[in-house]
Structure 1
Amino acid sequence: MPIEEVEMQIRGLMMDPVTNMPIVVLKDIASDQVLPIWVGLFEANAIALELEKTATPRPMTHDLLRNFARGLNARVEKVVVSELRQDTFYAVIWMDHAGERVTIDARPSDAIALALRSDCPIYVARDVLNRSRQVADGAGNINAEELRKWLENLNDDEMGRYKM
């Protein structure tokens, strides 16, 4: 049975006010549902550079990956945040190489940075969206649900607080 995927867009990139770690906020394009994913500083910078269309004097790692794929006549078709295991998200990069489908395991932050550079869609497995909400609810973790509601209601100015 195929996995149902929900198309997402990057709603914003910001700093978590509690942990002071960057958060990529993905938003369902068909609803207000959001999925926050905490990422490392370097990955957040790679995402921010592309979101802001900032040119760098030399290719950064995710630019290199895009260029490598192009050099091998491969195309990044989509990225999917595919699993949530023990509070860790997993992603898959879907590529086409000469008509053959190739999948590559990746961290969501790397997959998102590559998706931005490859101009391809970002998806989250429906099960991951449901489980991330259940984990927040089931653990009695009021803070996680409050954070989700807070993220859903942020305006564009508040979403852009991440600074490189």
Structure 2
Amino acid sequence: MIEMDIRGIVLDPITNMPIVVLQSKETDDILSIWIGVFEANAISMKLENIHMPRPMTYDLMVNLIENLSADISYILINDLNDNTYYAEIVLNKDGQEIRIDSRPSDAINLAIRKNVPIFVEERVLQEYKKDIQSEVDENELEEWIKSLKPEDFES
């Protein structure tokens, strides 16, 4: 498993859909996942420390988990199938590990609210890199990553 940080949210210049960009804590490897507008907005609001007066959906989910005496240990992006990513939210309840199937965007939203690690299976990252290399010249991708500016991550 490779631990990742959230680099930010950018918009796909062609589809105008949000992309969450994750980067390995130890290397320059990145993983870009296209996500929904509402999920991107929730991630951006949390990253920018914008607080709502009432709990939003992901805050509610965290409250439910905590009130059931469980903790979120970490999240894991564990599969890539037909351009769809899969994730698990890994909970700990009374020493027992509980894995819950999740969309990556929902799992990431919970991870940033509880400040828990975000992991990606190495094979998922390798498959992403293979797919992206077949679609985009590696130099173009590297130049795109280097060209990102802080304002590109604003929603």
Aligned equivalents of 1:69 and 1:49: distance in 2? 21
Aligned pair 1:102/2:98, yes or no?
Answer: yes
Question: Among residues 22, 25, 38, which one is paired with 2:21 in the alignment?
Answer: 25
> Which one-letter code corresponds to 1:87 in the other structure?
N
Q: Which runs of 5+ in 1 are unaligned?
A: none
Q: Which runs of 5+ in 2 are unaligned?
A: none
> Which one-letter code corresponds to 1:69 in the other structure?
I
Percent of aligned pairs sharing the same letter? 40
For 1:85, the equivalent position in structure 2 comes to: 81
Question: Among residues 115, 137, 149, which one is paired with 2:142 in the alignment?
Answer: 149
SS of aligned partner of 1:48: helix
CA apart distance, 1:146: 6.1
Distance 1:47 1:98, change over 3 A: same
CA contact (8 A) 1:24 1:36 kept: yes
Q: TM-score, normalized by length of structure 1?
A: 0.88
CA apart distance, 1:151: 4.7
SS of aligned partner of 2:13: coil
For 2:112, the equivalent position in structure 1 comes to: 116
Q: How does 1:1-164 map to 2 (within 5 A)?
A: 5-137=1-133, 140-142=134-136, 145=138, 148-160=141-153, 162-163=154-155
Misfit runs of 4+, over 6 Å: none
Distance 1:43 1:130, change over 3 A: same
CA contact (8 A) 1:6 1:123 kept: yes
Distance 1:28 1:118, change over 3 A: same
> Which one-letter code corresponds to 1:17 in the other structure?
P
Deviation per CA, 1:22-57, whole angstroms, max 9, x where unpaired? Answer: 010000010111111110000001101110111101
CA apart distance, 1:150: 4.0
Aligned equivalents of 2:81 and 2:72: distance in 1? 25
Aligned equivalents of 1:24 and 1:109: distance in 2? 8
> Which one-letter code corresponds to 2:49 in the other structure?
K
CA contact (8 A) 1:14 1:159 kept: yes
Deviation per CA, 1:93-143, whole angstroms, max 9, x where unpaired? Answer: 000011111000000000000000011000010000000111223xx4127
Distance 1:146 1:25, change over 3 A: farther
Distance 1:91 1:66, change over 3 A: same
